[in-house]
Amino acid sequence: MIIQPADRTSSVQEYYFSRKLKQIAVVNEERRAAGLSPVINLGIGAPDGMPPSEAILTLVETAQLPGNHAYQSYVGLPELRRAFADWYSRYYGVILNPANEIQPLVGSKEGILLTSLAFINKGDKVLVPDPGYPTYTSASRMVEAEILTYDLKEENGWWPDFDALESMDLSGVKIMWVNYPHMPTGAKASRELYGKIVDFALRHRILVVNDNPYSFILNDDPISILSVDRAKECCLELNSLSKAHNMSGWRIGMIAGDKDLISEVLKVKSQMDSGMFKPLQLAAVKALSQGPQWFSKLNSSYKERRVLAGEIFDAIGASYDHSSSGLFLWGRVTPDNLFAKAEEENGRSLGERVSDAIFRKSGVFITPGFIFGKNGEDYIRISLCAKPEVLAGAKELVKNAITAKL
């Protein structure tokens, strides 16, 4: 390499799933040569269903109009901001000013780094949940923040322990990352929980960023933290069409909150990209207009898949919450697990050993929980973004591996 990379790149690794997908590609070549079927990948939460038909039709029709291929406004079309505001009003009971309290994003993941760049200086402290989405940590590291993890544990329903939070040295903390329904555990939020988080943030002058893309998945009561009294004083919320509208590849998201906070995010975003492709924005307007029947149909499929994923965990010998929300099922394994005993420890966590053994013995990839933090080390995670027949096939492969005594 002709020059040295920036120091910040040494603080992060290539994303786990990026590395794993390359490994799976190699293994698939080996399996193909041996006459075996490809690996069943139950890792990433990329919805496999179709987006709303109106959104697809709008994208096709508007992409054929020559005037729609120019640069667009950094703040998004007024129609899209109004559609997001209407969506929040209908489903969350939250009133947002579409003129200045909503910023469209290229997927909500973009918002994690944009928010970090907008508000964090070198050495500022950031509260990150453990277990939690790894990007909260990696984005914080890239802006040279000091990361303070706060524990989420099964015995507390995967909610923060506020007594433990109060006992921490919170001096210099600027941002707290929150995510419910929680990824990876599937724990649901409540108005009580959000009320406690807002109270904590106001008293300690901390900006809470609630990452809320799973609120409609296997959840009959979508909640926004912005529905809590005074939340706009201390909270931003990220949301997305990726999960609830089967549009992950479209990269359409948003961040919402007080206009002064949103304007700081826009300062950063406007230096990094231009406006979203107009036909995508117009299609998103149609997607956001979907009624309750859309989500009812979506969740009827995920309920079936959650049962099938649970049957895989039953075969493995993992315990789990039968009523969890979101796109994943989160299972706890114990040291006496057959798959765990089939692998040497070699510094690996319990969940990683189980995941590796299942991958090696059955050709099924299930995510190990350690990638989400130390509190995930005894867990594994199944994505519900696989068709029922695929989940059923994975169960049979796991059972066959057990029958063969691993």
pLDDT (tens place) for every residue of the chain, 406 residues total: 899 988 888 877 787 888 888 999 999 999 999 998 999 999 988 999 999 999 999 999 999 999 999 999 999 999 999 999 999 999 999 999 999 999 999 999 999 999 999 999 999 999 999 999 999 999 999 999 999 999 999 999 999 999 999 999 999 999 999 999 999 999 999 999 999 999 999 999 999 999 999 999 999 999 999 999 999 999 999 999 999 999 999 999 999 999 999 999 999 999 998 899 999 999 999 999 999 999 999 999 999 999 999 999 999 999 999 999 999 999 999 999 999 998 888 899 999 999 999 999 999 999 999 999 999 999 999 999 999 999 999 999 999 999 886 6
Q: Please name the helix (run of DSSP H) or strand (run of DSSP E) that holds residue 102, with its range, or none.
A: strand 102-105
Q: What's the start-to-end Cα distance of the chain, in Å?
A: 44
Half-sphere exposure of 231 (CA within 13 A, CB side): 24
CA distances from 18 to 44, 249, 327, 380 (A): 10, 16, 19, 18
- The single-letter code of the amino acid at 381 is R
Domains recognised in the chain with CATH numbers: 7-49+293-403 (3.90.1150.10), 67-289 (3.40.640.10)
Coil vs helix vs strand at 148: strand
Question: Any idea what DSSP says for residue 327?
Answer: S
β-sheet with 253-257: strand ranges across: 102-105, 253-257, 235-240, 207-211, 173-178, 125-130, 146-151
Name the CA radius of gyration of the chain, rounded. Answer: 22
For residue 131, cis peptide bond before it (omega within 30 degrees of 0)? yes
- The burial class, CB within 10 Å (0-12 / 13-18 / 19+), for 173 is buried
Alpha-carbon distance of 65 to 324, in angstroms, equals 44
Kindly compute the dihedral angle of the four CA atoms of residues 12, 18, 22, 25, in this order, to the nearest 10 degrees: 170
Coil vs helix vs strand at 239: strand
- The single-letter code of the amino acid at 182 is H
Alpha-carbon distance of 273 to 405, in angstroms, equals 54
Alpha-carbon distance of 316 to 312, in angstroms, equals 6
Kindly compute the dihedral angle of the four CA atoms of residues 330, 335, 341, 345, in this order, to the nearest 10 degrees: 90
